Structure 1
């Protein structure tokens, strides 16, 4: 529930839609707006002008190219699709009530829809040695700097007479973590060498924040994607890595189910060999574990050792799940394309963006 003051604060935004709320309910960064004209979802975000223009372009373009499973945006009475108020950006969508009946197959629907978006926007880029070189050097330098930070943390901990429970836990897994780091770097180098040899690179429209929380169902049970605020043109591996890094934390995760989900995606866009290697590289790099060390550095006086150790162990288990998953997908070829599901390459000029 919201207070009267909050209701007044949203008045200037809802004015743009001629909406007069009878009731407002906060759901994270989404406000459920109940009016006589119906129930709506008002999303609050932080976007620059260029980001707002790109965001609305993405939503409209997806509809134009035949992907209609996106939660639509309502225009204001002035014809705009976003409202800027101070540093905040707002946009209005229909409100879709949650339905637990659809939760069981949610992951499959999500990967299928991401695969369809990627297939519809797949484009063979003109090979640019400078772009590939920059991407490789940037990521490799960042990974090596992070690795150096973790090695320094290890050396400092080993010099102590009494180590904390967190430090002891980290050191007991240190060699395994470094092996995954080296594996990720090796895979990244393989990707770079293959790109140089094959002279090819593919891009798609990436959702940017692929998560089961960003798939909701309309009253008829049809899944719709939302939250394209971070959409970007990039390798298809970007979306896949974001999704699977989160998925391995789920209690019901298994490498076999993960392989099934990847198969669903690859019915639309089979990964090239170098893309598969890049995917494994992204997954293998133990950034989540390194982030747990960062948390220890900055929050060790605010969080208990038990909580810090628990978070670290959880992320180490997730990395083991990733390792097993990567070993499985390296052993099996991608599924064949189904008839009627061949990737559609849309060759467009720079003004089209997508």
Structure 2
């Protein structure tokens, strides 16, 4: 009760900056729902340290003509947010999100809007050759160290007369893990060879937490992104990778819908070949599985043998689900490359003079 009373006082203090008269206040999670003389609103507070980038990115999207983000209302003196008691508050309309369409269709609409948002906010930035090389070298060296760690651990396990359940499972899955890491490293090398002489990279305004929970509908059926607190200027894969990895965190299944979503996005915002290479590298990288193995070897935390086995099993399923996605992407990219080469060859033949 005391906490709600404090939140109510904070809300009333913040609303003095808006020309809004409230009749009723509800606290729903970290959002305050306001019933007022001008409609129903949502008031949200964020850490001021992320507020500067958040406001800047919202303004940039507005300026570029992107309007499928929930509007942020300005105060009476033109500010987009109010600083109060070390929190930054912003006001937006409350959307009912009554859309009842199929989940797959909602995902398609969300990815189409994500592509449009990236298209309108895209810009190239200069990257020094030394900076690109440093990123490649440090990442490549780190991944090769991890591959060495995986090999050393499997060798130590195989020397034992009796393996623990975790060690036995690790030896069973070792080949798949090492192949995923080797694939990631190879794609990283391909990316560097293709881009080491490039001076620029593409960046966009990324959402930061793309999910259906953060894509809501108004009464007219239009979809809007919400929760832009983690937005930043970054390459487009900063939005794509977390979503696909999270979608793969389940029991083993061939996620064709995930691959379809990616290529639906690329219909509206095509990734360049070098961007696809880097995307493949990061997607295939078995980060969470390696973390579990390291935790087991270093005996971090208080997990029991059974807990480690269960946790590792789930991470291995993630590796296999992502492996399916990566292979489908590989097939699609090879088909696209073959089609482009065939088209180019056909154009060259048409340009050649016909023999008399």
Q: Same fold (TM over 0.5)?
A: yes
Deviation at 1:115, TM superposition (A): 0.9
Deviation at 1:162, TM superposition (A): 7.0
In the alignment, what sits opposite 2:220? 220
**1:117-145: CA deviations, max 9, x gaps?**
22223334446312322332343345455
Is the contact made by 2:99 and 2:217 (CA closer than 8 Å) also made in structure 1? no
Give the Cα–Cα distance (whole angstroms) in 2 for the partners of residues 310 and 61 of structure 1.
45
Is the contact made by 2:209 and 2:230 (CA closer than 8 Å) also made in structure 1? yes
Give the Cα–Cα distance (whole angstroms) in 2 for the partners of residues 178 and 77 of structure 1.
59
Deviation at 1:217, TM superposition (A): 1.0
Structure 1 SS opposite 2:32: strand
Is the contact made by 2:248 and 2:321 (CA closer than 8 Å) also made in structure 1? yes
In the alignment, what sits opposite 1:189? 189
Q: Does 1:119 align with 2:89?
A: no
Is the contact made by 2:64 and 2:120 (CA closer than 8 Å) also made in structure 1? yes
Q: 1:320 to 1:5 in 2, by over 3 A?
A: same
Q: Does 1:76 align with 2:75?
A: yes
Q: Does 1:40 align with 2:41?
A: yes
Deviation at 1:283, TM superposition (A): 0.4
Kindly tell me the number of residue pairs found equivalent between the two proteins: 331
Q: Does 1:240 align with 2:240?
A: yes
Q: 1:39 to 1:187 in 2, by over 3 A?
A: same
Give the Cα–Cα distance (whole angstroms) in 2 for the partners of residues 159 and 21 of structure 1.
72
Q: What RMSD, in angstroms, separates the aligned Cα atoms of the two structures? A: 3.3
Give the Cα–Cα distance (whole angstroms) in 1 for the partners of residues 112 and 125 of structure 2.
24
Deviation at 1:77, TM superposition (A): 3.3
Deviation at 1:291, TM superposition (A): 4.0
Is the contact made by 2:97 and 2:217 (CA closer than 8 Å) also made in structure 1? yes
**1:97-128: CA deviations, max 9, x gaps?**
23250352221112111111222233344463
In the alignment, what sits opposite 1:332? 332
Give the Cα–Cα distance (whole angstroms) in 2 for the partners of residues 328 and 280 of structure 1.
11
**1:277-328: CA deviations, max 9, x gaps?**
1111010101122344567654435xx6555433332221122111111111
Structure 2 SS opposite 1:74: coil
In the alignment, what sits opposite 2:350? none
What residue ranges of structure 1 are gaps of 5+ in the alignment?
337-354
Q: 1:309 to 1:31 in 2, by over 3 A?
A: farther
Q: 1:252 to 1:100 in 2, by over 3 A?
A: farther
Give the Cα–Cα distance (whole angstroms) in 2 for the partners of residues 54 and 233 of structure 1.
9
More helix by share: 2
In the alignment, what sits opposite 1:30? 31
Is the contact made by 1:32 and 1:42 (CA closer than 8 Å) also made in structure 2? yes
Give the Cα–Cα distance (whole angstroms) in 1 for the partners of residues 190 and 146 of structure 2.
20
In the alignment, what sits opposite 1:55? 54
Q: 1:241 to 1:305 in 2, by over 3 A?
A: same
Q: Does 1:169 align with 2:200?
A: no
Q: 1:285 to 1:157 in 2, by over 3 A?
A: same
Deviation at 1:263, TM superposition (A): 1.8
Q: Does 1:230 align with 2:230?
A: yes
Deviation at 1:223, TM superposition (A): 0.8
In the alignment, what sits opposite 1:94? 93
